[in-house]
Amino acid sequence: MLSLLILIVIAAFGLILVIPALRQPLLTAPILKGFRRSLPAMSDTEKAALEAGTVWWEADLFRGAPDWKKLQAIARPSLTQEEQSFVDNEVEEACRMVNEWKINFEDHDMPQAVWDYIKQKGFLGMIIPKSYGGKGFSAYAHSQVVAKLSTRSSPLAISVMVPNSLGPAELLLHYGTEAQKDHYLPRLARGEEIPAFALTSPWAGSDAASIPDYGIVCKQMWQGKETLGMRVTWNKRYITLAPVCTILGLAFRLYDPDGLLGKTKDLGITCALVPHDHPGVQIGRRHIPMNTYFMNGPTQGDDVFMPLDFIIGGPAMAGQGWRMLMECLSAGRAISLPSANAGLSQLAARVAGGYARIRNQFKTPISRFEGIEEALARVAGNTYMNEAVRTLSAAAIDLGQRPSVVSAIAKYHVTERARQVVTDSMDVLGGKGICLGPSNIMGLAYQQMPIGITVEGANILTRSLILFGQGAIRCHPFLLAEMQAAQDPDRAKGLQSFDAAFWGHIRYTLGNGLRSVFHGLSGAKFAGPGASVSVEMRGYARQINRLSTAYAFLADISMLMLGGSLKRKEKLSARLGDILALMFLASCVIKRYEMEGRIREDADLARWCIEDCLNKIHTALDGVFNNFPNALLGRVLKGLLFPWGLPGKSPSDQLGHRIAQLLSNPGEARNRLTPICFIHDSEHDPVGVIEHALAAVIAAEPIDAKIRAAEKQGVFKNEPLANSRDISGLAAQRGVISQEELTVIKRRDELRDRVIHVDDFPFEIHAKASGQHADGSDAESRLRAA
């Protein structure tokens, strides 16, 4: 009888589950009611941010089912003949024209000839279509240009990067009226207009949606007639190109208290274009970001009247500014800072690797010391990874994606790994790196690193709030649909939509849970990606598949347990975001290795990168399980998903040794690692001389071996000149080496001395350091006079 009763209950429950007319009122409706209560309040700006952009490969990783065939089917990005010519000629010439030391410590600006050159050659109009006189370059070409310029000069790269990122040109292309496009885009393409975009205010930095800058819709006399317009008040800071801009993009909140545009009083964030010489616009003062003298400064305006036609897209787009910004943000963020920092990584790798082979201590190149090797291995691996992420992110844009999550991953991780590359390079350079001067390349780069970390979404915020917070909602196949259904004002329609999404969610979670347990027990033996991935990378792809499935289940359980409070659990959210991002980075590395032809010399670089990612995933998973709000559930999940322990050992010392040596040995492997790096051909250039000296050092090594052998035999015993500086001359006198060989040694010494030279200055340099000239004038008065 009891068995029959149990069967009847199970059958009844089964009928309720399969019949929507029963399931929705009896099960789904109560669940929806609880879901609505747990859902945190969400503003229109938050909704716009969450719904902006598209999802791509990161969604496969989030959902536990990466389709490696889809990733491998993406063609290797390439440049058109025109784009390649631009990189090889115009970009090279721009790099030759600048001197980073003079810009930042003498002139405090790029030379006027450089400004003229980048305007005339179309650098500022790379994203503007040819129909408007622009270059119409691909995202990959845009990325190549920014990356290469960044290997030479930050002010140059930033001055080109910003007009081609989120700003007036991008917004006009997508939302401008035809009249606005026809007027501004050709002028921007020709460099006749210098754009800036002002969003950040002193009271709203990372929380840009809360900007206090405002406009009031009103009528006022304008150019001799009464005009419907707005009085705008703003106070912005950190605005790149603002001191020299001719057209200022401006974001502010627009209000219509008198109902001149309709019934809505608070129209929302609005974007307008304002000429720099418009009455009331204040620009010209400058910030000094970490002693890097690109044009950056504040702008203000107090009750400035401007016609509604100044709104990008005209009056119809009043209040649509936040949506416009969010929809355009991902493309610029996926290119600008990842490209600049990938380029900077390549410069640091080239410099540190060459310097370590050139610099001798204890009669040995320091590149052979294991401590230096450890730093060089990180430099090489992170440089390889940054280029992989940069390339794939640009490819996504060219495929038509607007990858909001990928752009956040790329921005955060490329800048953080570039920071590690620069720090390690500084450690390799030692005393050479800490004394600023014309011959010190890395000291300036080290100073500048916090800029990329901070702008376009501070890295702390990006990691703790965006990577998982936005990633979970956008990448999850059902969560966004559930949220939208819960907020649908049509309750009946919302219930139907929620019913479909919720029960799909249940099936999805159970499926991932079962597969996760199976892969955990079987050691992921059946999680392989198939033949779409090379033999060298197949084992790594299998581990990523296994981690992806476990992650999908873990993310769902975390969201179920914490609900809306997950938004406030920033440390847990950050670790979950780390796991998703690191899986993406590792897959970028696999894709780079595959699409570049599976070159065996590069396999060690790919292995180091992937093993580093897997090791960091291990750390992040450990942090999630150990800090799970329900400690018992955390331990149970760890045991279920990883019964044999967490995977992910750190790269071995031998692997690190092999990739470190790639940096210090001239050859194709070193060139492939730094493919976009600008190398000046002059031996009097601080980077060029390293290349010349490296070749000279290698040419002299067999001769050095002769001298060391003679020294061991006692040939130079008790000789005062038998020191590291003078022993070669003594060896020539004793016939140990020939005069021709001595010439090779002297040439090596000349170049090596130039490489290890540390700049010094007259005592009066303190006057310049304090902003004072010898005549007593300060920097501000000179700027005003100029």
Residues acting as catalytic residues: 456
- Got the DSSP string for 440-456? -SHHHHHHHHHHHHHSS
Strand 247-255 relative to strand 225-240, pairing: unpaired
Q: What tokens were used for 425?
A: 């390079």
* Element of type H or E holding 164: none
Instruction: State how far the Cα of 456 lies from the Cα of 329, in Å rounded to an integer.
Output: 9
Instruction: State how far the Cα of 295 lies from the Cα of 241, in Å rounded to an integer.
Output: 5
3-state secondary structure of 534: coil
Distance (Å) of CA 579 to CA 263, 557, 560, 639, 647: 47, 15, 18, 18, 13
How would you write 244-281 as a 3-class SS string? Answer: HCCEEEEEEEEECCCCCCCCCCEEEEEEEEEECCCCCC
Amino acid at 186: P
Instruction: State how far the Cα of 656 lies from the Cα of 615, in Å rounded to an integer.
Output: 14
Amino acid at 431: G
Instruction: State how far the Cα of 501 lies from the Cα of 506, in Å rounded to an integer.
Output: 9
How would you write 75-117 as a 3-class SS string? Answer: CCCCCCHHHHHHHHHHHHHHHHHCCHHHHHHHHCCCCHHHHHH
Strand 364-365 relative to strand 214-222, pairing: unpaired
Instruction: State how far the Cα of 184 lies from the Cα of 247, in Å rounded to an integer.
Output: 9
Instruction: State how far the Cα of 256 lies from the Cα of 263, in Å rounded to an integer.
Output: 8
Helices (H) and strands (E) in the chain, counts: 34, 8
Euclidean distance between the first and the last CA atom of the chain, given in angstroms as a whole number: 98
Question: How many CA atoms are closer than 13 Å to the CA of 471, on its beta-carbon side?
Answer: 33
CB 22 within 8 A of CB 15: yes
Contacts of 323 (CB under 8 A, 6+ apart): 48, 52
Q: What tokens were used for 440?
A: 């010190």
DSSP-derived secondary structure letter, 488: -
- Taking CB atoms within 8 Å and a gap of at least 24, the contacts of 459-462 are 459/411, 459/412, 459/415, 459/416, 461/206, 462/408, 462/411, 462/412
List beta partners, residue 778: 772
Phi/psi for 201 (5° steps) reads -120, 165
Instruction: State how far the Cα of 577 lies from the Cα of 463, in Å rounded to an integer.
Output: 7
Amino acid at 74: I
Instruction: State how far the Cα of 155 lies from the Cα of 142, in Å rounded to an integer.
Output: 17
Q: What tokens were used for 669?
A: 């492997």
| Number of Cβ within a 10 Å radius of residue 64 | 26
What is the radius of gyration, based on Cα positions, of the chain? 30
Phi/psi for 246 (5° steps) reads -110, -15
Instruction: State how far the Cα of 201 lies from the Cα of 209, in Å rounded to an integer.
Output: 10
Q: What tokens were used for 686?
A: 């601080």
List beta partners, residue 216: 231, 255
Contacts of 468 (CB under 8 A, 6+ apart): 555, 573, 574, 576, 577, 580
CB 457 within 8 A of CB 408: yes
Cα 646 off chain centre by: 29
Distance (Å) of CA 287 to CA 208, 271, 277, 500, 549: 20, 24, 21, 53, 47
